[in-house]
Structure 1
């Protein structure tokens, strides 16, 4: 056993240390504007045309009416030694270049085009032994959300709690009650888990303008999280999957409340409230069990500086995939009146895959933070 895990760990370290990574991103235009400024309106139209001409360009638009955007702009101008621009719009940021004002497509518009064309457009690549060059831009954020969310979903604590709820409800042999009480558990878990990822995203956004600090934080979380998952994988191979937080007094207390509510045949409102509380406690208490994945994911979203609609959509996608296995268990319980759980061996190997992914993401960001390429 030690030989196998040693080989796996050695291969993992070789993969990480042998990979060379080039971190030039696609060109990005950061546009700070006022809704009432005529020059801003003109630049909006110009950027729309530029986006149609070059779909790979990332154009992020920030209305200065938003206090967070004003803070971001202030930090950018301070780092660029252009603090005198503060209070004026439009301001266009491309790489390390800051442009104040806009006239037309031939004037400042031409300057913007030239800067965009001068920006490095090499793809983000990792040179992996045997496999060769792997282009990271072929794996966009939605795919990352799907991969990490799916793997994170094989969580023994949450699955065990759902199995407890369904086991109690199945005794009633009532599909409507299974649908209701199981649905309350799943919906509560999804909302609270999504809220936790959102809160971590907001924490990372507080330091998003300090690029090196953000990359260093994500990198360290990824590497430490990857190491932790690898240690957990070793333990799971010996003892099988287990929930470290399932026996805490708080979880035990709410578990007993739910069981007593079923035994006393409480009203459906009381039962639903008990299940809601139990799901909330389980989700919060077991969050540290696999926190590295959602926290690193939140950091990656912050690093990409997305608009609210995009990062909220990606968080929702992550949560949907996180809940996928529980949804399958839930649907089977409703349709077949029985409980099905994932194969323990599969759950063990998802822990190893999670560790590898976190190591890779962490190493990528650490290399970026220290400009090692």
Structure 2
């Protein structure tokens, strides 16, 4: 069973997908879900259209509240070759269309109702599914959030401290292998963490209460991070707890004391896993918001995980750059309090902006 339903922006038509029902009246079935901005746009458009189309009966089927509607959508989409299912989905006279674009004034939906083929504005790709002008912003959005997330002070503090220890060996090869393994292992753990977030949102759907809850969490995390800029070390914080730091130091010493390079790599990979779990509250905000946004897009499973990989590429890019600079220069640099405060401020500002967008302008993220 497919894990969830994405909100579709660009209409995709399956002209001969489903055998027409032997009905004497024209019925337009509309599969929708709560919290889908494109569904809301479609309802507003159809509300106006119905006043001029007396022969048209419009039936809304909420897939988030009606299991029968969800199962019917799965069946129709599979038979129509429109996969994965998305909302809103329109079915009339045996023809299926997914998506509604308010900017086009509902022209594609009107063409579907009037049995006219809409003009296409999309390109099918195997890597990222359907690409269109309205969706070209998603890759840049993904990469930008990944880069910003990579500068979180928790992971940066651990990596820079590790590099400051490794530089004492004066061995560029060992330094690159150990630090590079830490970065790659961190990326792998983060990918698994984000995949879990994504599947959670695909299963639950992005209902209005869930969107509001996520927006409030993003605002709270952002507020904590901004607070840390002005009141570092005072009050509640989403940084690595002081009580956890001795254990991290001990694992770093294990990495340094291992004579064989293989043992060092195993130890540093274990360190990366531990650090990612310890810093979970420090880094959970952006991945949660991004995967919630990603779940709303009508993408194939492969495309969704491709975007996760792109996010991770951005996430580890800045770490990889720090490792490269340290290896080339054999430099010794730690994250200062001033640097950590500025990273907190930047991260908090982004979280607050995303939280406000999810709360007030969710269509910007769809």
TM-score, normalized by length of structure 2? 0.64
- Segment drifting more, 355-364 vs 234-243: 234-243
Contact 1:77–1:86 (CA under 8 A) maintained in structure 2: no
Hey, what does 2:177 align to over in structure 1? Answer: 180
Hey, what does 2:200 align to over in structure 1? Answer: 203
Offset from partner CA, 1:76-98 (integer Å, 9 cap, x none): 88338958967982376873522
The alignment status of 1:79 with 2:62, answered yes or no, reads no
Distance 2:95 2:363 in 1: 37
1:167: how far off? 1.8
1:183: how far off? 0.7
1:192 to 189, 192, 208: 189
Hey, what does 1:252 align to over in structure 2? Answer: 246
Which protein is richer in helix relative to its size?
A: 1
Paired residues, what number? 282
1:112: how far off? 7.1
Q: 1:281/1:319 Cα in 2 relative to 1: closer, same or farther (>3 Å)? A: same
1:27: how far off? 3.7
Hey, what does 1:230 align to over in structure 2? Answer: 223
Q: Which runs of 5+ in 1 are unaligned?
A: 1-23, 33-38, 42-71, 104-109, 119-135, 369-373
The alignment status of 1:149 with 2:151, answered yes or no, reads no
Distance 1:354 1:194 in 2: 21
Q: Which runs of 5+ in 2 are unaligned?
A: 1-6, 19-61, 97-110, 120-132
DSSP-derived class of the 1:305 partner: coil
Q: 1:166/1:138 Cα in 2 relative to 1: closer, same or farther (>3 Å)? A: same
Q: 1:261/1:300 Cα in 2 relative to 1: closer, same or farther (>3 Å)? A: closer
Q: 1:116/1:362 Cα in 2 relative to 1: closer, same or farther (>3 Å)? A: farther
Hey, what does 1:158 align to over in structure 2? Answer: 155
2:9 to 26, 42, 49: 26
1:234: how far off? 2.0
Contact 2:212–2:358 (CA under 8 A) maintained in structure 1: yes
TM-score, normalized by length of structure 1? 0.63
Offset from partner CA, 1:159-197 (integer Å, 9 cap, x none): 111122212211110000011001110000011111111
Q: 1:25/1:156 Cα in 2 relative to 1: closer, same or farther (>3 Å)? A: same
Distance 1:333 1:29 in 2: 49
1:114: how far off? 4.7
DSSP-derived class of the 1:239 partner: coil
Offset from partner CA, 1:333-372 (integer Å, 9 cap, x none): 111001456744541431342233222332146689xxxx
Offset from partner CA, 1:216-248 (integer Å, 9 cap, x none): 323321232123312321232222798732434
Distance 2:344 2:118 in 1: 47
2:305 to 312, 315, 329: 312
Contact 1:192–1:280 (CA under 8 A) maintained in structure 2: yes
2:256 to 257, 262, 277: 262
Q: CA RMSD in A?
A: 4.2
